[in-house]
A = this chain, B = another copy of it.
Amino acid sequence: MTSDEQSTGIAHIADLDRLIHEPARLMILAVLYVVESADFGFLMNQTGLTYGNLSSHMSKLEEGGYIEVVKQFKGKRPNTMLSLTDAGRAAFQDYRQTLLDLLSDLPD
């Protein structure tokens, strides 16, 4: 164990995945984590995000390889479906465990 990496202690919180840590994206991933697949409008309802914000966060999660985005037509209108990738699921689980470890083991 070197000086800057320790299994116990809280310094590893600094390494929290920033792509997940942003509240808007945390919400998106939390929804996708349980429903497996959701369309753009459903996610807007669940998260309270605007079109613009959901769109840009969606792009970042896609670029990071955490979600897959499938665009199709539902009738005559465009429809965007999102789902977690395996990498996204793994990263979310890791993020979740790190935070739970910190927050659970506190007094009061």
Q: Give the segment of A4-12, A66-74, A75-83 that binds chain B.
A: A4-12
Within 8 A of B (CB), among A44-99: 46-49, 93, 96, 99
> Are B16 and A107 in contact, with the CB atoms below 8 A?
no
How large, as a class, is the contact surface on chain A? 20 to 34
A38 within 8 A of B: no
Residue numbers in B under 8 Å from A99 (CB-CB): 99, 103
> Are B100 and A4 in contact, with the CB atoms below 8 A?
no
A19 within 8 A of B: no
> Are B103 and A46 in contact, with the CB atoms below 8 A?
no
> Are A104 and B108 in contact, with the CB atoms below 8 A?
no
Taking the nearest CB of chain B, how far is it from the CB of A95, in angstroms?
A: 9
